[in-house]
């Protein structure tokens, strides 16, 4: 007799399904460098820890290679504001979706929301 699935195993399967769909949607290409890689990451635009409602939303994900995800000058982890500026230009639908989610929250409080809001303020000044 098999044991019922645990909450952890269900979350892991949902995350893998979400990550696979992001990679499929983005044609298995890093969206920053536009190159195929053997290993690709599905990055959450709004962090899943702070925005659990957006955890499995496809618009909240983007396919990145390891270098672009963690190491490059355009990395969302090394330069969140620069990454969000890039997102606003090249992935406007995803940028707009993120801004809508942040607008719906009364007090977003994390680095991602701060970077999105700063980028939108700079857009207003242009």
Cα 26 to chain centroid, rounded: 13
Residues near 2 by Cβ (< 8 Å), separated by ≥ 6?
none
Which DSSP letter does residue 70 get? I
pTM over 0.75: yes
Residue 85, phi then psi, degrees to nearest 5: -60, -45
Range name among 44-53, 91-100, 106-115 with the lowest pLDDT average: 106-115
Residues near 24 by Cβ (< 8 Å), separated by ≥ 6?
none
Closest CA to 77 of 119, 112, 38, 102: 112
At residue 117, does pLDDT exceed 90? no
For residue 40, what are its two tokens?
């690709």
Per-residue pLDDT, 73: 85
């Amino acid at each position: 007799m098999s044991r019922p699935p645990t909450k952890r195993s269900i979350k892991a399967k949902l995350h893998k399904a979400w990550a696979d769909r992001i990679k499929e949607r983005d044609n298995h290409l890093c969206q920053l460098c536009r190159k195929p890689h053997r290993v690709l990451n599905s990055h959450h635009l709004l962090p899943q820890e702070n925005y659990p409602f957006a955890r499995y939303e496809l618009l909240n994900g983007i396919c990145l290679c390891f270098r672009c995800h963690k190491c490059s000058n355009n990395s969302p982890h090394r330069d969140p504001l620069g990454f969000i500026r890039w997102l606003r230009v090249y992935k406007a639908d995803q940028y707009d979706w993120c801004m809508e989610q942040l607008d719906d929250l009364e007090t977003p409080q994390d680095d991602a929301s701060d970077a999105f809001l700063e980028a939108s303020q700079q857009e207003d000044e242009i």
